[in-house]
């Protein structure tokens, strides 16, 4: 079968009041090594962003703490004034002593750096998905609800949460998206994905190609993905991303990259159609089940604009190989 001249991008799904293509772009990797500081190649970073929008990407995920503010600056430099219909989603991180004022200031920092009056959504990112949601969670969530009411964001989302967090949040407000770690080797958030699917909430898996790096390597080196890629005329990366799209119609992807070649590869994942034999082979090789806790690629401090990575910094010249593929 001949390929389309432009990527299909997996169809579309609702992101709150908007509707976006199911394959988007995650901007975290535009930061420097260890996800901090400026990019290795400033001009290529701008070209990647231009290529994403030219490829009809209309959902970009970012955060002010990516590259200590440099990533949001790159997005603004490359794309402002923004194309109509482009949904930019950001997040604010929660620490144990994070106050509502900190979260509000974090949202304003994102808007200022991006040159926006309003985000498509802002995610409340929890430090520990295993923590029991309490009144502190309620207060932090309320600060994002207030920001939405003030017109700073169209929707409120959650990140790094359990199903219990989601259900407690839904008692208090509408939730437009959930971002959780999810890939072939770590499917612990399957119950969250299923709850989101039942409620029509977008589920956005981060690190979709695996994290930590050993997991990513195991996924992309899998002979099963290689065999399926040969049969489906796709790369292992595209098969791994297509598996996520195939799980449920509410899955929105935000794979990240710092090169145009990998961006083009990622965008074509929406063209890959898995059949029953492919699904069965992937389930046999990567059965769902409890996985041991993995390091968080964000490992965020409270929203001060700084980030600390638990993963090893990428080695010079490693391209995307050392990155989580957010």
Reply yes or no: is the peptide bond before residue 212 cis, omega within 30 of 0.
yes
**Catalytic annotation present for 82:** no
Which one of the listed residues 25, 66, 82, 206 is annotated catalytic? 66
DSSP string covering 261-296 = HHHHHHHGGGG----HHHHHHHHHHS----------
How far lies 14's CA from each of 11, 121, 144, 155, 180, in Å? Answer: 11, 12, 20, 12, 18
Structure tokens at 123: 């995610």
Alpha-carbon dihedral of residues 183, 181, 161, 57, nearest 10 degrees? -100
DSSP string covering 143-184 = HHHHHHHTTSBS-EEEES--HHHHHHHHTTS---EEEEE-BT
Phi, psi (5° rounding) for residue 188? -65, -20
How many other C-beta atoms are found inside a 10 Å radius of the C-beta of residue 44?
A: 15
The residues carrying an active-site annotation are 66
């Amino acid at each position: 079968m001949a390929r389309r001249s432009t990527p299909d991008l997996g169809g579309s799904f609702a992101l709150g009041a908007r509707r976006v293509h199911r394959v988007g772009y995650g901007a975290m990797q535009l930061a420097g090594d260890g996800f901090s500081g400026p990019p290795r190649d400033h001009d290529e970073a701008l070209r990647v962003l231009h290529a994403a929008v030219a490829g009809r990407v209309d959902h970009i995920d970012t955060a002010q703490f990516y590259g200590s503010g440099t990533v949001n600056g790159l997005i603004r430099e490359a794309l402002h004034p923004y194309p109509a219909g482009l949904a930019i989603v950001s997040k604010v991180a929660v620490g144990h002593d994070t106050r509502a004022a900190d979260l509000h200031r974090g949202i304003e920092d994102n808007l200022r750096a991006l040159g926006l009056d309003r985000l498509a959504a802002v995610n409340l990112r929890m430090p520990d998905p295993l923590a029991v949601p309490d009144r502190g969670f309620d207060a932090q969530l309320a600060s994002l609800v207030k920001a939405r009411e003030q017109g700073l964001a169209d929707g409120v989302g959650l990140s790094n949460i359990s199903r219990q967090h989601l259900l407690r949040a839904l008692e208090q407000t509408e939730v437009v998206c959930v971002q959780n770690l999810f890939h072939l080797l770590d499917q612990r958030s399957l119950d969250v994905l299923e709850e989101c699917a039942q409620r029509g909430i977008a589920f956005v898996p981060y690190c979709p190609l695996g994290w930590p790096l050993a997991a990513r390597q195991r996924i992309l080196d899998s002979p099963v993905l290689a065999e399926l890629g040969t049969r489906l005329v796709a790369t292992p990366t595209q098969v791994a991303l297509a598996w996520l799209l195939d799980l449920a119609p509410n899955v929105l992807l935000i794979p990240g990259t710092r090169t145009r070649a990998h961006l083009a590869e990622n965008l074509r994942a929406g063209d890959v159609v898995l059949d029953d034999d492919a699904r069965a082979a992937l389930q046999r090789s990567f059965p769902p089940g409890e996985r041991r806790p993995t390091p968080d690629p964000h490992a965020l401090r409270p929203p001060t604009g700084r980030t600390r990575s638990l993963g090893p910094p990428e080695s010079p010249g490693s391209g995307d190989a050392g990155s989580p593929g957010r």
